[in-house]
Amino acid sequence: MDDPLSDAAFHVLLAVADRDRHGYEIMQLIDREPGMAGRVGTTTLYRTIRQLLALGLVVESERRPEPGDDQRRRYYGITGAGRKAAQAEIERLRQRLAAAEATSLAGARTPRLAH
C-alpha cells in the first residue's frame, strides 16, 4: 500500500498493533490520542474497519482476549500487510516532520544570502 493512510485508518492500526481489540476499545484509545478526541465516531470507526478488512490490513480475530466478555463483540487484529502500511505511514510522517523542522516555521535558522 503506497497511498497515505487516513488519520482514522492509521489510528485504528496503532490501536491494534500490539493486541487484538474490540471496536469500542479501539475508539476509546483513539479518543485518548493527542488531537484525536471526538474525531472518530462510531460510523467513521466501523467504516474504517470495514475498509481495512477489505484491504487485508486487519482481520477479525477468533480469539477472545477477555474471558467471559460479551460474545457479540468483534475483535480485530493487525495483519503483516497492516503492519507494513502503518510503518510506511510512520516513515512518511517522519519525512514530513523533518521537512517542516528544516523551515523557519519550526524555528530553524535559514542562512541569508550575501548581497
**pLDDT beyond 70 at 114:** no
Predicted pLDDT of residue 108: 66
Is the pTM for the entire model greater than 0.85?
no
**pLDDT beyond 80 at 101:** yes
**pLDDT beyond 80 at 88:** yes
Query: Following DSSP, what letter does each residue of 3-33 receive, concatenated?
Result: SPPPHHHHHHHHHTSSS-EEHHHHHHHHHHS
Topology, domain 7-105 = Arc Repressor Mutant, subunit A (1.10.10)
Instruction: Report d(CA 36, CA 20) in Å as an integer.
Output: 21
Each residue of 16-63: pLDDT tens digit? 999 999 999 999 999 998 887 788 889 999 999 999 999 999 999 887
